[in-house]
Amino acid sequence: MVGLLFAFMQLANAQPNIYVCEEGTVILGYSGAHPLQSGDEVVWQKWDVVLDEPIDAPEVRTYGGDPSSVTLEIDGNTLTAIGEHHYRMYVIAIDPNSCGSDLSDPVEVYKLPALSLALGAPSLAAYCEAADNSEISQPASSEIVATTATSGLPTGILLEYTWSVEHDNNPVANLGDVGSSTANSTMVTELTSTFTMNTTAVGVYEFSATVKYAAETVDGITVKGGCETATPETQTVEVTEKPGKPTITVG
């Protein structure tokens, strides 16, 4: 029991070798001092690192002269459980005497959860076109917040948000003409992104957003598959036209 507890504590402090989400694919390959020969077998085994025993039946690849012939391809959608998945492998050399190698050290593939994204209501559903009048103080901006509801993300996972805007049903090519969004973090997991709209051009603006996993973690560990998801709803903000400049009549 003490040995199993120690092994579990070591694993809890270890980092995955690679992350994958539902749409991603991880390819594990052979590397070693033994140069593979045609007919050698590379045996892949999913592994329980706490009990130190294999899970399920092994998968055998026969070397045919190309390293790709002995790789193990792991699709994210075949990993049913979110979290850690460990793999080991060994070689059976056809010459001499079908000798088998020691087991490799385990590698960890960590499956990430599916992302979700929702847009909150704008801080102002409408505001006025700016008036050149120091006597009037009125709002001239609105904020929309996109929130990722996914919980339990490992430390160091980065998210990338992308905003889209339409003005009177026409896509806006340069979002800087409408406002600005918070920059995607390269240091921490940000579960929200805010777009601040400050345009004074009259019309109705419709906002949507997407979020996906960045290609690497804070520590540079690869993430396979961005698994981009979009908000199921949009939010609108209207810039209303100011009244025409009045004229004083004198009588």
Q: Is residue 194 very low, low, confident or very high in pLDDT (cuts 50, 70, 90)?
A: very high
Residue 246 lies in a domain: no
Select from 76, 111, 146 the last residue of a domain: 111
DSSP state of 222: B
Instruction: Look up residue 9 and give its two tokens.
Output: 């504590």
Distances (CA, A) of 230 to 148, 210, 212: 10, 4, 9
Residues 35-57 pLDDT 10s: 999 999 999 999 999 999 999 99
Residue range 183-203: mean pLDDT, rounded: 95
Prior bond of 96 cis (ω within 30°): yes
Residue 46 and residue 86 in contact, taking contact as beta carbons nearer than 8 Å: yes
Helices (H) and strands (E) in the chain, counts: 1, 18
Instruction: Look up residue 171 and give its two tokens.
Output: 């896509």
* % of the chain surpassing 70 pLDDT: 92
Residue 34 lies in a domain: yes
Number of domains the chain is built from? 2
At 57, phi and psi to the nearest 5?
Answer: -80, 150
Segments forming the whole domain that contains residue 24:
2-111
Domain containing residue 81: CATH number: 2.60.40
Residues 111-165 pLDDT 10s: 999 999 999 999 999 988 876 665 567 778 899 999 998 888 999 999 999 999 9
Q: What is the pTM of this model?
A: 0.87
